């Protein structure tokens, strides 16, 4: 399982590499932006860990460039308490975030959570046909989605969220359930991650026949996918 670490603190990178090696990952390091972007676009990695608050290189820029051409899962490291960076990062398509400094255990847990749901064939129903509702069809095993017959490019977190909503189509799913199933962690109070991811999915899907968005917010409960 290869992981790419992008951070401008080289001493920290070496320590993280040692830690992740101990945990059984193969690790590549990148401490400058262009190298990071090139490596991330090579398809060699199961996951990219990206520090978005690097003083010397703009992590959000790296993320933007990677997302233009790739849906490789990206876990961002954000400054604790800096909500602006976090929201911007999620809007740009990061799959999840960890507030830095974090214990390496926390980081590994988050990495595993993302890998668990993105590893092809790891889904419980691997090999089964698509899950379909109206014009939306999803193949969880291949992590492929189609909307009105055209493929939709979703990040792995967006895919997982939409998959959960699709499996419960017509019923509201609480934010906590969504967080547990799609992000692999409980929903934290005042955390807007789910809202940001849902908003990106909405943008990618557009509106249904009646002009409404397919995903509706249910006040104080969560979100539901409308049955067409």
CB of 93 to other proteins, least distance (A): 22
Which residues, 169 to 198, sit near other proteins by CB under 8 A? 189-190
Assign 3-state DSSP to the chain and report helix, strand, coil percentages, each to 5: 40, 25, 40
What does the alpha-carbon distance between residue 159 and residue 137 come to, in Å, rounded to a whole number? 11
Residue range at the interface with other proteins (CB under 8 A); choices 15-23, 110-118, 136-144, 168-176: 15-23
CB of 225 to other proteins, least distance (A): 25
What does the alpha-carbon distance between residue 52 and residue 6 come to, in Å, rounded to a whole number? 9
Considering beta carbons, is residue 19 or 168 the nearer one to other proteins? 19
Bridge partners, 133 (sequence order) = 136
Taking alpha carbons only, the member of 51, 131, 127, 125 closest to residue 94 is 51
> Which one-letter DSSP state was computed for residue 125?
T
22 makes contact with other proteins (CB under 8 A): yes
Considering beta carbons, is residue 83 or 228 the nearer one to other proteins? 83
Cis, bond preceding 101 (omega within 30 deg of 0): yes
CB of 211 to other proteins, least distance (A): 26
16 makes contact with other proteins (CB under 8 A): yes
Q: What are the residues binding other proteins (CB under 8 A)?
A: 9, 11-12, 15-16, 18-19, 22-23, 79-81, 83-84, 100-105, 189-190
């Amino acid at each position: 399982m290869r992981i790419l670490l992008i951070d401008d603190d080289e001493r920290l990178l070496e320590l993280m590499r040692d830690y992740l090696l101990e945990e059984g990952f193969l690790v590549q390091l990148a401490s400058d932006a262009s190298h990071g972007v090139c490596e991330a676009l090579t398809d060699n990695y199961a996951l990219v860990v990206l520090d978005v608050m690097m003083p010397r290189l703009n992590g959000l820029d790296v993320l933007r460039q990677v997302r233009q051409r790739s849906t490789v899962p990206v876990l961002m490291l954000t400054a604790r308490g800096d909500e602006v960076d976090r929201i911007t990062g999620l809007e740009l398509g990061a799959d999840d975030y960890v507030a830095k400094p974090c214990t390496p255990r926390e980081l590994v847990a988050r990495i595993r959570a993302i890998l668990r749901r993105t590893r092809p064939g790891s889904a419980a129903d691997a090999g089964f046909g698509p899950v379909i509702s109206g014009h939306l069809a999803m193949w969880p095993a291949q992590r492929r989605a189609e909307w009105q017959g055209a493929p939709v490019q979703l990040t792995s977190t967006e895919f997982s969220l939409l998959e959960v909503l699709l499996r419960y189509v017509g019923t509201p799913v609480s934010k906590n359930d969504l967080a547990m199933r799609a992000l692999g962690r409980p929903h934290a109070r005042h955390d807007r991650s789910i809202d940001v991811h849902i908003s990106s999915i909405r943008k990618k899907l557009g509106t249904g026949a009646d002009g409404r968005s397919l995903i509706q917010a249910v006040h104080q409960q969560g979100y539901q996918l409308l049955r067409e």
